Amino acid sequence: MNERARSEAVAQSLENSAFFMPFSANRQFKKAPRLFARAEGIHYYTPEGRQVIDGTSGLWCVNAGHCRPKIVEAVQKQVATMEFAPPFQLGHPAAFEFADRLAKLAPKGLTRVFFTNSGSESVDTALKLALAYHRVRGEGHRMRLIGRERGYHGVNFGGTAVGGISGNRKIFGALVAGVDHLRHTHDLAKNAFSRGQPKHGAELADDLERLCQLHDPSTIAAVIVEPVAGNMNLVLPAPGFLETLREGCARHGAVLIFDEVMTGFRVATGGAHQAWQSPATLHGSVPRTLGGPNITWAAGDRIVHTHLKDVDAAMAARVRAHARESGTTISAVVTSALTEFFARGRRDHPRR
């Protein structure tokens, strides 16, 4: 059977498949499917054996490349030892060891690690932490969340609501009440062909002051932005933009959340917090599995860093509503192996 005939046969077998694919035109895809059979290094391989460069790192999840022997060995060994241990009132050493390792890599002030199962869940957890933080401090009236136009924060209720992509929200209604958005910073007229950080755009952070006066700053719980705006084709922040946001949040008592699910551990080991010396209060990030400067297990663990000081029993009761299957044995050992992989790479190939 030649390649064309084989592809047509596969398409016929998939046309009525029960699998509903995310962010894909399902009918069109199943009529002309693009399938991979295996992967190695930076390449995927089709069922016919054709080699395809993985230019997006499996959509940002496998930055170390596919099927790295040390990482594969870590997975195999852990599955044979203990494949899962619940984090409810129980635990396993690997999760604690890896969390401590991550905390040492993080910038000063980010001292707690909370594992989640996806970037969307990481964002919603950060939003919930911010709301819970205000409530245990006696400021439960702070319920408003501020996102940014054209920002992407996943597909859960909270992340879709604070996200600034109208196409992702239009068929779902309000989702979460009390949400508003800063203006976006994608200004081609002023910043086209910029190298590194664009010169213009820091003044757009002043839009936070406008929203504070519109809604009353005492009602604002959190402001969430991607320091590097992924959905705007990786627009870097203008010098002073993140700093101005941080100062505005501090002045008005709001929590500043950096969503670095796409970019964390890439722009710097400690993300934007470290790269531009602009600390956030909550940091949704991603050590991704089998991936790169991001760390986690292929099923997904992301992390939420926090340096909130008022985490007490009341806060813990709220946090436990999230991530029941997070911090798994496999994800912990895999991400530890991944961290070592990149640490070794930095030692062997230091930047010049």
- Digit-coded pLDDT (tens) for 243-302: 999 999 999 999 898 888 877 767 776 777 777 777 666 666 554 433 322 222 222 334
Q: What is the pTM of this model?
A: 0.84
Asked if residues 150 and 232 have their Cβ atoms less than 8 Å apart, the reply is: yes
Domains of the chain, start order: 3-59 (3.90.1150.10), 70-348 (3.40.640.10)
Asked if residues 286 and 119 have their Cβ atoms less than 8 Å apart, the reply is: yes
Characterise 280 by phi-psi region: left (phi > 0), alpha (psi -120 to 50), beta (else): beta
pLDDT over 90 at 158, yes or no: yes
Mean pLDDT confidence for 38-42: 94
Query: In whole angstroms, what is the distance from residue 321 CA to residue 276 CA?
Result: 33
Give pLDDT, residue 281.
63
Name the amino acid, one letter, at 230: G
| CA angle 115–228–330, rounded 5-degree value | 25
Query: In whole angstroms, what is the distance from residue 301 CA to residue 119 CA?
Result: 8
